[in-house]
Each structure stands twice: as structure tokens, then as C-alpha cells.
Amino acid sequence: MENKYLVLAYYKYVDVENPHREVMVHKKFFKNRDALGRIYISEEGINGQISASEEVANSYMKWMANRKMFHDVEFKIHEHPQHTFHKMTVKYRKELVALKYKVDLQQGGEHVSPQKWREMIESGEYVLLDVRNDYEWEIGHFESAEKPDCRYFRDFPKYADQFKEKYDPEESKIMMCCTGGIRCETFSALLKENGYKQVYQLDGGMIKYGLEEGTKHWKGKLFVFDERLSVPIDNKTELPAISHCYICKEPADMYYNCADVECDRLFLGCDRCREELQGFCSEQCLQKVQEKNSVS
């Protein structure tokens, strides 16, 4: 029988009185259960991505639904034939989204449903701001999305000034999106602190959009932070690649980490180049490891 795993992505901002204790409670729940992933718990809430057998995933969601703090956590669910993580980490974190300074999360942008989001795109009245990192943007994004001018979005506070020169805070209507929604909570609040009056965030992020609205207005793949690295936005429809192999420049939308663990560079490689370089990101990395092996 074919295995079926569920990949869950979820977060909730909620006051967690004793996050260290909650870490223990979570660890206890997952002990001896078939689940892997990454769960961060802080005073301000929870952020998790896990893969689990269907049975364990369902019992986890049920368990969460029965807990006052987490009863309304919304899970975005993909099916997958295997685990998408190789270990389980449940950890305390001071902030769920790292940013150099504090923003008032209560002041975030207005949440809009995937359907409303699609209608807003179609109206053509909005600036669509993708707040992911540039390597995520590279393999897939909404058609009309601006490429963010920073490699890592935690640099956004710096970028906000340039953004203001381009888009008037009083007049501009900003649609903000990210993978699962959590980064928009922070960055939409930041944008509003910068004087923007009309800021909207895609509820549940691109994952939920893909599940509800399919591939409409989307190009390429969706980058995800697990072993899959990229998935079709609706988790089933393969769209043409919009990105290119770093080596031969042919279309490619599969990211790999260089087989040299010291290098570990995230790179886009087509099947042919990847085979020729034996999973390394470059001739140099391949040679380096070959030389090392011939010495020892």
C-alpha cells in the first residue's frame, strides 16, 4: 500500500504564558509518534511545519483543537508520499519572525481570503508586494508581483525607505503575501508603521491560495522550507519553469543543496547538470571533494 503523509503548515499569534512548558507538552505529544518537522513556540504564539502519517497528523490537529490556546489554529494541508523533514525539532524562540526591531502585531494589514485576493489582482488597482526572500521569488510568484529589492526580507526596514519613494503611503493600496502568511503579520505591521494606510495581507499565504484558487495568476513553483524545496502551488499542477539552471541556463525549477556539506549552497540545477556534477553545485566543489577522497 502506498504511504500517505500529511504536510501541515500553521501558525497562530496568541499569548503563551509558559512557552518552555509548552515546548515540553508538544515534545511529549510527539514522542513515539510518526511525525517530523519544525515547531517554534514563543511567548507570542506558535509556528509549525510538520510531516506526519495521516493518522498522527489527524490526531495532532484534533489534540490542538481541544486546547483552549490553539483551538482555532488553521492548518494548511498537503498530501505527500513521504516525510518532508528528516528530524523533529520543537524549540523555544523569542520571536516567531525575526526582525531587528519590535512592531505592534495588532496593527497588521487586513486579512483577505484567497478568493478576494484573486479579485483584487484582477481589479488591477493594487501594488502586489511579495515579502519572501529573492531565492523564493526566483522559482515562482504571482504574475504581477514586484521582485523585492532585498535578498533577505529581514532587511526590509532598510528597503522600506526606497519603497516609500516609489509608492505614496497615503494613496497606494498594497497587497502583501508570503508562503504561509506569518511573515506578512510582521511586515504588514511594519509597512503601516511607515505610514501606509491601505495594507492587505493574503490570509493563509500562498499555500492556502493554491489550495483554494489553484494556479490562477501564478507562475512557476512555490518554494517551501522542507525537503521538497519546491512544490506546485496547488500541490498538483506542474507549470512551466520560469527560472534557470545556474550552470547551463536551461529552464529549471528544482533547488538542491550542494552535495558538499561544507558548501551546502542552495542552487537551481537541471537534471542533466546535476547528474554530471554528481549533485555538487559547481566543478570546484566536485573537484575539491574528489581531491580530498584521493588523499585519504
Out of 248, 262, 275, 287, point to the residue binding Zn ion (CB under 5 A): 248
Whether 236 contacts 218, CB under 8 Å: no
Stretch that binds Zn ion, among 69-77, 134-142, 214-222, 262-270 (CB under 5 A): 262-270
The catalytically annotated residue of 178, 273, 281, 285 is 178
CA distances to 3, 9, 38, 127, 205 from 227, in Å = 17, 14, 12, 32, 19
Out of 23, 145, 273, 277, point to the residue binding Zn ion (CB under 5 A): 273
Least distance to Zn ion from the beta carbon of 285, Å?
A: 3
Stretch that binds Zn ion, among 60-68, 158-166, 224-232, 280-288 (CB under 5 A): 280-288
165: exposed, middle or buried (Cβ count in 10 Å: 0-12, 13-18, 19+): exposed
Least distance to Zn ion from the beta carbon of 114, Å?
A: 34
Q: Does 247 bind Zn ion (CB under 5 A)?
A: yes
Q: Does 259 bind Zn ion (CB under 5 A)?
A: no
Number of residues that bind Zn ion (CB under 5 A): 11
Judged by CB, which is closer to Zn ion: 120, or 242? 242
Would you say the C-alpha torsion 135, 208, 131, 35 has a positive or negative sign?
negative
CA distances to 24, 163, 173, 197, 237 from 78, in Å = 27, 34, 31, 35, 13
Q: How is residue 20 written as a grid cell?
A: 518552555
Out of 64, 73, 207, 258, point to the residue binding Zn ion (CB under 5 A): 258
19: exposed, middle or buried (Cβ count in 10 Å: 0-12, 13-18, 19+): buried
Whether 113 contacts 50, CB under 8 Å: no
Least distance to Zn ion from the beta carbon of 292, Å?
A: 13
* C-alpha–C-alpha distance, residues 58 and 61, integer Å: 5
- Told to judge if 178 belongs to the known catalytic residues of this protein, a careful annotator would answer yes
Least distance to Zn ion from the beta carbon of 280, Å?
A: 5
Stretch that binds Zn ion, among 76-84, 129-137, 232-240, 248-256 (CB under 5 A): 248-256
Judged by CB, which is closer to Zn ion: 50, or 285? 285
Q: Does 270 bind Zn ion (CB under 5 A)?
A: yes
Stretch that binds Zn ion, among 127-135, 150-158, 197-205, 265-273 (CB under 5 A): 265-273
Contacts of 284 (CB under 8 A, 6+ apart): none
Q: What angle in degrees, to the nearest 10, is found between the helix axes of 205-213 and 114-123? A: 90
Least distance to Zn ion from the beta carbon of 278, Å?
A: 11
- Give the binding site for Zn ion (CB under 5 A): 245, 247-248, 258, 260, 263, 265, 270, 273, 281, 285
Tell me which residues are annotated as active site. 178
